[in-house]
Amino acid sequence: MKTNEPFIGFSNTAMEIFSPVKSVIIDMIMVQLLAIIVTLGLVLLTAGDRVGSDTVAYLVAGLFGAFFMLGSIYSRISEI
């Protein structure tokens, strides 16, 4: 009598959802960094003439930081 079979399938599915593979987490981080780069770039291109110089400096610093983090992730991936 196999009464625990549905619960084993459910627990395996829950474990797969809540403990993703490391590459999935890295992919999600890279997508977020690319979205930050695209968003900051579009803001600088479209509203660069209407914002103050301090805001542009913060946007450029954020863009540089996102590029730096993305580059470090790519370099670690390439070592593997």
Q: Is-contact 70 41, C-beta < 8 A?
A: no
> In the chain, what is the straight-line distance between the N-terminal and C-terminal CA atoms, in Å?
46
Decide if 10 is inside a domain: no
Q: How far apart are CA 68 and CA 42, in angstroms?
A: 18
Q: What is the pLDDT of residues 68-80, one digit of tens each?
A: 988 888 887 777 6
Range of the domain at 59: 20-79
Q: Is residue 67 part of a domain?
A: yes
Question: Coil, strand, or helix at residue 19?
Answer: coil
The answer to the question of residue 28 being in a domain is yes
DSSP annotation of 50 reads: T
- pLDDT at position 73 is 83
Q: How many domains does the chain have?
A: 1
Q: Is residue 34 part of a domain?
A: yes
In a domain, 13, yes or no: no
pTM of the prediction? Answer: 0.66
The answer to whether residue 54 is domain-embedded is: yes
